[in-house]
Amino acid sequence: MERNYVYPASDRIWHWIHAISITMLVLTAIPIHFPSLRFVDLKIAVNIHTFFGLLVAFDFILYLINMFFYGSIKNYLPRSGDGKQAIMMAKYYLWGIFRGEEEPFHPKPGRRLNALQKPAYFVVMFIMVPLQIFTGLLIWKAAEAESLINSLGGLRTISTIHIANAYLFAAYLLFHIYLGTTGKTFWYFFKVMITGYADE
């Protein structure tokens, strides 16, 4: 069977740093946000949260360099035929996947995302992630950023956005990991993201 190298090392590195960090951020957000679920000391939770928050901010810079200087962005660009492919993939996700049908899309270098993944990952990486980093940094440096925070509606508004977006992240993680298990075998997509190779 032929194999395509679709995820160069730089893509796999930023992705797994994001995966570990955001999982830790969601987990540490639970004791911070819910006093009744304080399974670790608040101070420790906040420190771990801030550490992984800063790591994600750094990793997002790696993501942008990788996107724009190493050409990963080409996987995200719309192409002719995307409309048709989006309908085909929607049918597959809503119906075919539960009947064990073969996935109609096969990733190739430079074209590794299907027409639904492109906009979905774009929203996550270009709206949700930067918004969470921005609001997180403001909360972290609230004293220093007081005037900026006030001009944006105050700390309450900023932290409400941070919390609402946190729910989106928790939902995204569950859905993303679930879809990760829907390859030809349970581990197939995880192996693709670890080795970089997808079957033709």
Q: Which residues bind ligand HEM (CB under 6 A)?
A: 11, 15, 18-19, 22-23, 25-26, 29, 32-33, 46, 49-50, 53-54, 56-57, 72, 75, 112-113, 121, 124-125, 129, 132-133, 136-137, 139-140, 159, 162-163, 166, 169, 173, 176-177, 180, 189-190, 192-193
Q: Which residues contact 17 (CB under 8 A, 6 or more apart)?
A: 55, 56, 59, 62
Decide whether 92 or 189 has the Cβ nearer to ligand HEM. 189
Decide whether 58 or 95 has the Cβ nearer to ligand HEM. 58
| Closest by CA position to 149, among listed 163, 164, 161 | 161
Q: Are 78 and 111 in contact (CB under 8 A)?
A: no
Decide whether 81 or 130 has the Cβ nearer to ligand HEM. 130
Minimum distance of ligand HEM from residue 36's CB (angstroms)? 13
Q: Which residues contact 179 (CB under 8 A, 6 or more apart)?
A: 189
In the bound state, the residue with its beta carbon closest to ligand HEM is 136
Minimum distance of ligand HEM from residue 27's CB (angstroms)? 9
- Rounded distance, CA 13 to CA 105, Å? 24
Minimum distance of ligand HEM from residue 180's CB (angstroms)? 4
Q: Measured at the alpha carbon of residue 45, what is the angle toward residues 42 and 48, in degrees to the nearest 5?
A: 150
Minimum distance of ligand HEM from residue 178's CB (angstroms)? 10
Minimum distance of ligand HEM from residue 163's CB (angstroms)? 5
Decide whether 83 or 110 has the Cβ nearer to ligand HEM. 110
Q: What sections of 34-154 are H helices per DSSP?
A: 42-69, 82-94, 117-123, 129-140, 146-151
Minimum distance of ligand HEM from residue 167's CB (angstroms)? 8
Residue with tokens 């085909």, as numbered in its chain? 88
Decide whether 150 or 195 has the Cβ nearer to ligand HEM. 195
- Rounded distance, CA 99 to CA 131, Å? 38
